[in-house]
Amino acid sequence: MNKLIIAIVMSSFISAQCLGDVNDDYVINIQDVVLVVNNIIYSTDIDYSADINEDGYVNVLDIVSITNIILNGENTCVYPIDIIYNVHESLPDDWVSEFYTIIDNLFELIPANQNYFDELTIYAWNSSVQDPYPGIEGGQYIGGSDDGLIMVLEIYDMEFVWDHMHRYSVIAHEYFHVYQLSINEPMNQPNGQYNPNGFDIKWLIEGTAAVFESMYVQNYYNYNYFINDLIYADLSYSIHTNPSIFESYNSDNIDINGSSSVFMVLVLAKELIELGHSEEDAFKMIFKDFMLTGAKNSNWEDYFLEIFGFSVYEFYTSLQLYPLNLQDVVPSSSLSLQQIFN
């Protein structure tokens, strides 16, 4: 029996990622207290997941700490999602190694936790080959499947030939959607037709992902994606006359490369800065705080007002004050994602 307990404690030492959840079962309860006690009595090694107060010892103070966690109801361990990789041999080696680096960077910056889904399966290949994974349609998107969330990265062959930054930025773009899905439950609901309990306001979802990916390559490659790429897509006059059309994915045909959605997100940041928020706070509110409200299609305008301090209508009206020129609203190139998300 003692051996079994010690074995459990030892294995939790390897896998536990949450202080107090010694047996790694996603809840902190009496079983964890028992394991801490056993660690004190039977084990000569420190099980670091049992060192609740992180003082380097497992002792009675840890029993007090874990009991407090249970009594205070702070039983909120969340675990990062599992990522399953399918990276095809058709991709160049240097892209593959950069791909893993980018995913690591992103996961550190904005971890996707197991709030609404537990795992993500990534399929990546070079467009020069036939779609290699049965049942996985080509393209670049996040989708649902019978097995959970999937990320598809069919990278255009020409982007390798031309060393186009998009071959990397698309990873940040799609991962940002995974992050959004991990913090906003309604986004996980079925979409495609109007669902009051879903969330698919396009300019807020796609505009933010495109701004995020541009900031990523600015931060990590010192490359200004706004000025070098996005600026070449014409901005739609509808931004001034009828911006609500960008709430729907049906606007894709006039939102070339999502640049009109990007423009709207950047103007939103400018308006927040105008109100006295710092630039990093403005983007944190847009990228994170708004999504964390649980905004859904039926009430997002209420949360918009609550988080940003002006109504959607007021914001849409203020868009008319901004000439349709992306260059005027691009964020500072010195702005770092670390600042925004810390």
> Judged by CB, which is closer to Zn ion: 153, or 209?
209
Are 297 and 198 in contact by the 8 Å Cβ rule? The answer is: yes
> Judged by CB, which is closer to Zn ion: 206, or 247?
206
Are 270 and 329 in contact by the 8 Å Cβ rule? The answer is: yes
Q: What is the largest CA-CA distance in the chain?
A: 74
Shortest Cβ distance from residue 215 to Zn ion (Å)?
15
> Judged by CB, which is closer to Zn ion: 124, or 209?
209
Residue nearest to Zn ion according to CB distances in the complex: 209
Residues found near Zn ion in the complex (CB under 5 A): 206, 209
Phi and psi dihedrals of 56, rounded to 5? 90, -5
Evaluate the CA torsion angle 80, 107, 150, 290 in order and state its sign: positive
Shortest Cβ distance from residue 208 to Zn ion (Å)?
9
Phi and psi dihedrals of 139, rounded to 5? 125, -165
Cα 15 to Cα 3, 26, 100, 173, distances in angstroms: 18, 12, 21, 30
Are 327 and 263 in contact by the 8 Å Cβ rule? The answer is: no
> Judged by CB, which is closer to Zn ion: 19, or 209?
209
> Judged by CB, which is closer to Zn ion: 120, or 209?
209
Shortest Cβ distance from residue 102 to Zn ion (Å)?
16
Please name the residue that has the structure tokens 């990265």.
153
Shortest Cβ distance from residue 174 to Zn ion (Å)?
7
Shortest Cβ distance from residue 209 to Zn ion (Å)?
4
Shortest Cβ distance from residue 178 to Zn ion (Å)?
11
> Judged by CB, which is closer to Zn ion: 16, or 120?
120
Are 1 and 9 in contact by the 8 Å Cβ rule? The answer is: no
